[in-house]
Amino acid sequence: MKRFSRGRLSGLVLMLTLVATLVIAGCAGDDGSQGPTGASGLPGLPGNPGLAGVQGVQGDPGLPGNPGLPGLQGASGADGSDGAQIAAGVMLNKTTFVLGEDETFTLTGYGFMPNEVVIAKLQTAQDNLILVGATANAYGAFQVNPQDLDLTSLGALEAGAFTLKVTGTDGSLASAPMVFVESAK
């Protein structure tokens, strides 16, 4: 037997491999059923960011929030000055006067500020007629008796009910009714 050289042996092996491959490829059968799903692969790299979207429509307003905590108490204010007494009052020795006959009366005041100057005005439809002035004593009281006061000479005074208003310079205020009637002559 003759010996094959290495080059020829390699050529023969190559040729047999080629023939075997062609035979196997020509004899292939039907595809088999699908095998089970393999394991998931690793996540891929993130993509590039996209362009910004269009501005959306404004939403409805939200519900109001909870009320805040109460604030700190403010500083105390300065003490105010004493006001006029509320209890000032006046009395007349009579409340009904006959026009043309009664020309005097006694006016007594109480509850005014000590040494307060007071003015008594008769309020009429046209004007406030000053009848008398006085000064309260250290106890806030006064009494005056104007003499020879011709009530009929006071303009715009006619029969009817009027208010005698007594005002003090310290803010005290009091009033009393005065009724004027026609003479029965």
Residue 146 near residue 111, CB atoms below 8 Å: no
User: What is the rounded average pLDDT of the residues 50-71?
Assistant: 89
Strand partners, 163: 123, 177
Instruction: Please measure the distance between the N-terminal and C-terminal CA atoms of the chain and give it in whole angstroms.
Output: 190
Neighbours of 169 (CB within 10 A): 15
β-pairing verdict for 142-144 and 160-168: unpaired
Residues in the chain: 185
Give the distance, in angstroms, between the CA of residue 70 and the centroid of all CA atoms in the same chain. 14
Of 173, 165, 182, 93, residue with least CA distance to 129: 165
Q: Which two tokens stand for residue 69?
A: 């905590």
Q: Which two tokens stand for residue 22?
A: 């062609």
pLDDT in tens, 143-177: 998 765 556 555 557 888 989 899 999 999 999 99
pLDDT in tens, 40-56: 888 888 888 888 888 88
Does the global pTM surpass 0.85? no
Q: What residue ranges do the domains of the chain occupy?
A: 89-181
User: Which CATH entry fits the domain spanning 89-181: 3.40.50.1820, 2.40.420.20, 3.30.2010.10, 2.60.40.1930?
Assistant: 2.60.40.1930
